[in-house]
Amino acid sequence: MGKYILRYGLISGVIAAVPWLWIMARMPADGNLEEMGGATRGYIIIILALSMVFLGIKHYRDRVLGGAIKFGPAFLLGLGISTVASVLYVIGWEVSSSLSDFNFAQSYGKSMVEATRAKGASPAEIERAIAEAAEFTRMYANPMFRLPMVFIEMFPVGLLVSLISAAILRNSRVLPARAPA
């Protein structure tokens, strides 16, 4: 099982991490989050990457277990793949952030303040948003805050994909293994 966790986790992690190298390399230092493509683009990349969870469980079921797997082992395999992929996602984010002049924390803080202003907030609410943005920027500079935060962008989605994949693939009639020709 470890070989499948590593193989499919690495593939998934590379699919999730590599786009950030390209996206961040193009970002100007004073860029904004919309230029990154927003959360929608990020989660589309993550879901595409986590399709490897389904494929990893299916290949393990078909090639190692002869076409049948129970929910528990399938779920654990999916969690392992998701964990490896999420760690690589964090590494990709850190590498792309260090190679780029773009400051994510400042841009995110700026967008927090702009969103508060856009909803017609009072001056006190705007000041509170400015203080929260400054606090976020300060906390984000700490790797003990940043790394887990980036990890939980991907891992909960991997948990959900693992649950769904394990539930589907425990039924050996779903996408059955083909007999060799």
Distance CA 39, CA 46 (A): 10
Helix (H/G/I), strand (E/B), else coil: 30: coil
Q: Band of the pLDDT at 6, cuts 50, 70, 90? A: very high
- Domain membership of residue 179 (yes or no) is no
- Domain membership of residue 137 (yes or no) is no
- Domain membership of residue 113 (yes or no) is no
- Domain membership of residue 161 (yes or no) is yes
* pTM of the predicted protein model: 0.85
For 52-73, how does the pLDDT look when each residue is reduced to its tens digit (9 = 90+)?
Answer: 999 999 999 999 999 999 999 9
- Domain membership of residue 21 (yes or no) is yes
Amino acid identity, residue 173? Answer: R
Residue 139 in contact with residue 145, Cβ under 8 Å? yes
pLDDT, mean of residues 96-107: 82
C-alpha 21: how far from its chain's center? Answer: 14
C-alpha 2: how far from its chain's center? Answer: 21
- Domain membership of residue 139 (yes or no) is no
Residue 4 in contact with residue 58, Cβ under 8 Å? no
What CA–CA distances, in Å, run from 139 to 32, 106, 172? 19, 11, 48
Q: Which domain holds residue 21?
A: 2-103+151-169
- Domain membership of residue 13 (yes or no) is yes
For 135-146, how does the pLDDT look when each residue is reduced to its tens digit (9 = 90+)?
Answer: 999 999 999 999
pLDDT at 116 over 70: yes
- Domain membership of residue 163 (yes or no) is yes
pLDDT, mean of residues 101-114: 84
Q: Band of the pLDDT at 108, cuts 50, 70, 90? A: confident
Helix (H/G/I), strand (E/B), else coil: 59: helix
Count of domains for the chain: 1
